[in-house]
Amino acid sequence: MPVTTFDVSDIKRRMQGAIASLKHDLGSLRTGRATPSLVEPIQIEAYGATMPMAQVATVSVPEPRLLSIQVWDRSMVAAVEKAIRQSDLGLNPQTEGQVIRLRIPEMNEQRRKEMVKVAHKYAEEARVAARHVRRDGIDILKKLQKDGEISEDDEKRHAAEVQKATDATVSEIDGIVAAKEKEIMQVYGRRSRADSINACHLTRRP
């Protein structure tokens, strides 16, 4: 019968896993510029299993706002196209043979707000994952204390360590999603930069 042990470093490691997953998911959110990370998280139903995009196709960026997806197996083209349409990206794939092209449109205010909502959804999933790790840690401590492996004081002390790690993880998640939200909402500012420069020139007089 396995021996139940408590290791706060393992708790922290698992919580960092939730943060790493969040960063990966946020990397898939488009901000008006093409990048392979947009489609990397997309899962494809292939050969009776679910596979990431990288295992069925090569993704390249021929233009700043264009993704080109070269599907290796012609029979998988429809599955890749379907997965893209069902994703949260809101992109319209254009297929020619085994090549799927994704034109990344300029994001209007409504689309940026939709992306922010998706970012917050990913963040909440990460918070939930961290809380699940916290629950596992607390359950282990309660069992150890009940079995007489640790004292009640030790159980409380370690529980405080778990809570501290949870609070730190949630705080880091909040910071990450706030930065991503700022990045998404700044797209409009970058688009209007030329207008701002022109306005400056118009106001200058010799």
pLDDT, tens only, 130-162: 999 999 999 999 999 999 999 999 999 999 999
196 Cβ neighbours under 8 A, 6+ residues apart: none
Is residue 77 within 8 Å of residue 100, measured between CB atoms?
yes
**Model confidence band, residue 9 (pLDDT cutoffs 50, 70, 90):** very high
Residues 142 and 174 placed together within one structural domain of the fold: yes
Residues 183 and 113 placed together within one structural domain of the fold: yes
Give the total number of structural domains in the chain: 2
Specify the length of the chain in residues. 206
Residues 112 and 21 placed together within one structural domain of the fold: yes
Residue 21 domain-assigned (yes or no)? yes
Residues 84 and 157 placed together within one structural domain of the fold: no
Closest CA to 72 of 93, 44, 94, 49: 44
Structure tokens at 62: 């021929």
- Give the whole-angstrom CA distance, residue 125 versus residue 179: 17
Is residue 4 within 8 Å of residue 143, measured between CB atoms?
yes
What integer pLDDT is reported at residue 41 of this predicted model? Answer: 81
**Beta pairing partners, 50:** 45
Residues 69 and 95 placed together within one structural domain of the fold: yes
Residues 83 and 175 placed together within one structural domain of the fold: no
Q: Of the candidates 44, 75, 103, which is a domain's last residue? A: 103
CB burial string 166-178: b at 16+ within 10 A, e below: beebbebbeebbe
Each residue's pLDDT tens digit, 15-61: 999 999 999 888 877 666 778 888 888 899 988 899 999 999 999 99
Closest CA to 16 of 174, 172, 140, 163: 172
Residues 89 and 185 placed together within one structural domain of the fold: no
What integer pLDDT is reported at residue 126 of this predicted model? Answer: 97
Residues 16 and 52 placed together within one structural domain of the fold: no
* Domain of residue 164, residue span: 8-25+108-200
**Beta pairing partners, 94:** 101
Residue 205 domain-assigned (yes or no)? no
**Beta pairing partners, 44:** 51
Residue 133 domain-assigned (yes or no)? yes
